[in-house]
Amino acid sequence: MNKKVFLTGDRPTGRLHLGHFVGSLKNRVEMQNSGLYEPYIFIADMQALTDNAKNPKKIQDNIKEVAIDYLSVGIDPSKSTIFVQSQIPELTELTFYYMNLVTVSRLKRNPTIKTEIIQRGFGESVPVGFLTYPISQAADITAFKADFVPVGEDQAPLIEQCKEIVHTFNATYGDVLKMPEIYLSNNDVCKRLPGTDGKAKMSKSLGNCIYLADDSETVYKKVMSMYTDPNHLKVEDPGNVEDNAVFTYLDAFATDEHFSKYMNEYNNLDELKEHYKRGGLGDVKIKKFLYQILEEILTPIRAKRAYYEEHLDEVYKMLQDGSKRARMVASDTLNEVRNAIGVNYFD
Ligand code: TRP
């Protein structure tokens, strides 16, 4: 059976957190373990440099952190090719060919880029590399002939841009590139886990994250100070479960087994929610329950993390081996691309 290729990556600008875990990492591990796919998972250090050019140390440090996070959640180098973008020079050459197929105005209209330019305060001083990173992302995707790209909704315009490039390339030079599809999570809660402050999204810059690397005590403190219903002052008060971060997290993480294990006076989350809405259920009790669930998830991840922190040589070796394998695949695609364009003068 021909396995479908899926490819996805992360910018190494910080450690991964619970938002990444429910939003993508868990899904990748499931896809990987299903045996139905050929997974490529990579650290997009070149893309991270497009807005961190003056701070390469940050990228360098976080390559290690993200790699450890990958291994700790169960991304397995014997089943997935895990690699580092900058170690595949073929991607840069592909990018340069694709650049001729995209206009500057199209890039400036890309909604993801537009938002990010505002977020970063670039104005007219946007670096060329930053403006063009969607083209480089198209190279990442097409080099491995990805069928599916599992990413968050915010990435949809980048996948659209990639599809346009594939279309234009194939129409111009012949059918070489594979048309990719975005692969969105079908679980609404998991698409966008709010921060502990209840704000829209868990994000490093907002300081509202629970990291996979946080120790028990830190997780406890963060959960205990989580945003709930600001009008739920006394235990007797009826509470609101919408826009209540603790309940959103329970939606994302709690299973019926967690109830029988830690809170068997309820059968499931619906019953717990009903009680909260009626009144008579205190925040601390639910927060302790959430903490127990998170600990159950994070404890094995933490143990693996501790191992890899002590065995960094294994981590780098894994990245190096993965990059070698990835390079062979990208190099085959690049050859096809060169042949299609006709820049194979000496063959
Ligand atoms: N843009 C992605 C992010 O910010 C990272 C990325 C780079 C990526 N190249 C990719 C994701 C190719 C999927 C496919 O998280």
Q: Which residue has the higher pLDDT, 7 or 23?
A: 7
Amino acid at 273: K
Round to whole Å and give the CA distance between 259 and 266: 6
pLDDT averaged over every residue in the chain: 95
Q: What is the pLDDT of residue 152?
A: 86
Classified as helix, coil or strand, 95 is helix
Residue with tokens 């992302």: 137
Cβ 216 vs Cβ 295: under 8 Å = yes
Lowest-confidence segment of 33-47, 84-98, 184-198, 254-268 by average pLDDT: 184-198
Taking CA atoms, 109 is separated from 9, 51, 101, 106, 133, in Å, by 23, 18, 15, 5, 13
Output the CA torsion sign for 62, 64, 66, 69: negative
From the alpha carbon of 146, which atom of ligand 1 is closest? Answer: 14
Cβ–Cβ under 8 Å, residues 84 and 323: yes
Mean pLDDT of 175-181: 98
Q: What are the pLDDT digits (tens) for 115-172?
A: 999 989 998 899 999 999 999 999 999 999 999 999 988 899 999 999 999 999 999 9
| Residue 130, pLDDT score | 97
Could you tell me which of 130, 80, 86, 131 has the C-alpha nearest to residue 105? 131
What confidence tier does 259 reach under pLDDT thresholds 50, 70, 90?
very high
Whether 189 has a pLDDT exceeding 80, the answer reads: no
Distances (CA, A) of 142 to 4, 42, 97, 166: 13, 14, 12, 8
**Are the C-beta atoms of 91 and 45 separated by less than 8 Å?**
no
pLDDT in tens, 227-255: 999 999 899 999 999 999 999 999 999 99
Count of CB atoms within 10 A of residue 193's CB? 25
140 CA to centre of ligand 1 in angstroms: 8
CA of 157 to the centre of ligand 1 (A): 12
Atom of ligand 1 nearest to the CA of 140: 12
Q: How far is the CA of 166 from the centre of ligand 1 (A)?
A: 17
Instruction: Say which residue the tokens 């639910």 belong to.
Output: 286
Contact residues of ligand 1, CB 6 A cut-off: 7-11, 44, 47, 137, 140-141, 149, 151, 155
HSE on the CB side for 192, CA within 13 Å? Answer: 9
Select from 6, 88, 140, 203 the residue to mutate for testing ligand 1; criterion: most ligand atoms less than 8 Å from CB. 140
pLDDT > 80? residue 188: no
What ligand 1 atom has the least distance to the C-alpha of 137?
Answer: 9
Output the pLDDT for position 34: 97
pLDDT digits (tens, 9 = 90+) for 45-87: 999 999 999 999 999 999 999 999 999 999 999 999 999 999 9
pLDDT value at residue 191: 74
- The answer on pLDDT for 35 being more than 90 is yes
Is a pLDDT exceeding 90 seen at residue 201?
no
Q: What pLDDT is recorded for position 97?
A: 98
Q: What average pLDDT does range 39-44 have in this prediction?
A: 98
Distance 149 CA to ligand 1 centre (A): 9
How much distance in Å is there from the Cα of 294 to the middle of ligand 1?
27
pLDDT recorded at residue 109: 95
Q: What is the reported pLDDT for 186?
A: 75
Distance 196 CA to ligand 1 centre (A): 25
- The token duo for 38 is 């050929």
Structure confidence at residue 221 as a pLDDT band (50, 70, 90):
very high
Query: Which atom of ligand 1 is least distant from the CA of 8?
Result: 13
Lowest mean pLDDT of 13-27, 35-49, 189-203, name the range: 189-203
Asked if residue 206 has pLDDT above 90, the reply is no
Q: What is the pLDDT of residue 205?
A: 81
**Does the global pTM surpass 0.75?**
yes
| Tokens describing residue 129 | 């590399």
- In the prediction, which pLDDT does 28 show? 96
